[in-house]
Structure 1
Amino acid sequence: MIYKRCPKCGKRIPSGTSCPVCKRSYKAPEGVYKLYHTQRWRNLRDMIIARYNGIDQWALHKYNRIEYAETVHHIIPTVDNMALFFLDDNLIPVSRSSHDEIHRLYKKQKKDIQAELQEILKGNGVGGIRKV
């Protein structure tokens, strides 16, 4: 069984139940968000990060900075095309700050940023560590 911690009191409770102390209820992930909790996703995520030596590709190519990649970004979001969820050609390792920046930029110039990310994946970006 999967457990969560109540953010209010810290009590360990089963996922999808309410905290008996605080009476807060928690919903189990649904829809596309449920896929992020699968072993298949965790394995793919780890593979993508390892492929690029754990380096944030956005920060490396955009700012010539080396940062640790802690998440994997879908270049074409799953809400736009669910078929690309597990496709590794659509995934790029990024840090949390880069991921937030990319999503902010998507609001203004989504197609341009997606094209730039795809160029980074192809290895045509500005110098630095490439995938092995």
Structure 2
Amino acid sequence: MLMTTCARCGKKKPANIKCECNKNRHKIYDREYRDKDSAEFYNSKQWKSLRNICKAKAKGLDLYELMVNHNYVVGTLSHHIEELKDNKARALDINNLIWISEKTHNYIHAQYDKSKKDKLDMQKRLFDILNKYYNDESIVFSLIAGGID
């Protein structure tokens, strides 16, 4: 059974089961913190469908961990590389989405929050990861077929 670490509490858990600490997190976040427009968008059928496509294309793996650190980590969310607040036109653009884990998501946003330059550098890195993953099958095949140390 594939195990993963909860990004919130750090406990090991089966990859296909949500951690106890995480059960109502999305509902609480939507209700208390997220603005109404964003909550409506993230609950739309279009978003949920695109999110599932993003997950399927990544084979459920955190693409940042796979391509940068050569680790198998189960992804849990679809991240907008160019954030909605910066570019709403790319909200439903599959080429602006990367499937990652919550831990990676926290790391990415920490980089985004450092400075404008760090944010742009991270965005470039994420777009490069997508480009390599989707366009260079030899790299991905070697990683998935056992090229990971």
Task: Identify whether the pair has TM-score above 0.5, normalized to the shorter chain.
Answer: yes
Q: TM-score, normalised by structure 2?
A: 0.64
1:97 equivalent to 2:97? Answer no
Once the two structures are superposed, residues 42-84 of structure 1 have per-residue CA deviations (whole angstroms, 9 ceiling, x without a partner) of 1100111101111100111221111111100000000001111
| TM-score, normalization by structure 1 | 0.72
Provide the C-alpha distance between the structure 1 equivalents of 2:37 and 2:61, rounded to a whole number of angstroms. 30
Which structure dedicates a bigger proportion of its chain to helix?
2
Deviation at 1:29, TM superposition (A): 5.9
The SS at the match of 2:111 is helix
Off by >2 Å, runs of 4+ in structure 1: 26-29, 127-130
Equivalent in the alignment of 1:19: none
Which is higher, the Rg of structure 1 or of structure 2? 1
* Partner Cα separation in structure 1 for residue 128 and residue 39 of structure 2: 27
Question: Per-residue deviation at 1:120?
Answer: 0.6
- Structure 2: stretches of 5+ with no match in the other structure: 1-26, 144-149
1:117 matched residue in structure 2? 126
> For residue 4 of structure 2, what is the aligned residue in structure 1?
none
Alignment correspondent of 1:9: none
Q: Distance in 2 between matches of 1:34 and 1:107?
A: 25
**How far apart, CA to CA, are the structure 1 residues paired with 2:38 and 2:88?**
8
Matching residue's letter, 1:85: A
Q: 1:54: which partner in 2? A: 60
Q: Tell me, what secondary structure is at the counterpart of 1:123? A: helix
What is aligned with 2:16? none
SS in 2 for 1:31: helix
Count of aligned residue pairs for this structure pair:
105
Aligned equivalents of 2:90, 2:140: Cα separation in 1: 27
Unaligned runs of 5+ in 1: 1-14, 16-25
2:40 to 34, 37, 43: 34
Q: 1:81 to 1:106 in 2, by over 3 A?
A: same
Tell me the equivalent position of 1:43. Answer: 49
For 2:113, the aligned partner's letter is: K
- Give the letter aligned to residue 112 of structure 1: D
Distance in 1 (alpha carbons) for counterparts of 2:92 and 2:122: 20
